[in-house]
Structure 1
């Protein structure tokens, strides 16, 4: 699974599931719906809809996906550090933030490598 669109699709599905699991777990633990748990689901849906554009080598959609992934990773790092440096211990939220960060870095790496390969391919086509 080396193609950026495949990695983006897997990461978006992980985000969608993380949000749905998070809101469901919160409901069964506390008894209320914490709608902020759906933030990963929202980002996952945006990234999922970017998958076709990445597969078709649409640079604008690829850059939007990279921007959304970067925003999500930075936001998760801030929230993870806030929880760990505060009075919170390592719990369900921290595992979700950690999974989002790890998956986001994996996805960003594949997108960067994809953009570099695409530039090289276009440069070689222009020389021909």
Structure 2
């Protein structure tokens, strides 16, 4: 899977599943509705709807997807560090944050490489 839109689509589906998993698991364990568990699902939905724009090489949508992914990675890093340094417990939340961070870095890397290749291709077309 080399194309940025494919990686974005997979990452958005992973985010949707992680958010729904956290939401349902919290309800089954504690019995209350923790709507903050749906934050990854919300970001996954945004990224999923950015996928067609990335596929069509729309630079604005590609940059929005990169910005949303970067914001999510930074938020997850902060929350992961708070959880680890606060009570030093490695639980379900920390695994979800780690999954979001790793997937986000993978997605951002593919988007950056894709943008660079796109710029090189446009520059070579302009020269000829």
Tell me which interval the TM-score lies in, with the shorter structure as reference length: over 0.9
Q: How does 1:1-128 map to 2 (within 5 A)?
A: 1-128=1-128
Instruction: Give the number of aligned pairs.
Output: 128
- Structure 2 gaps, min length 5: none
Distance in 2 separating the partners of 1:123 and 1:52: 24
Distance in 2 separating the partners of 1:17 and 1:87: 26
TM-score, structure 2 length as denominator?
0.99
- Structure 1 gaps, min length 5: none
Deviations 1:49-90 (A, max 9, x none): 000000000000000000000000000000000000001400
Distance in 1 separating the partners of 2:54 and 2:123: 19
Distance in 2 separating the partners of 1:45 and 1:31: 25
**RMSD of aligned Cα (Å):** 0.5
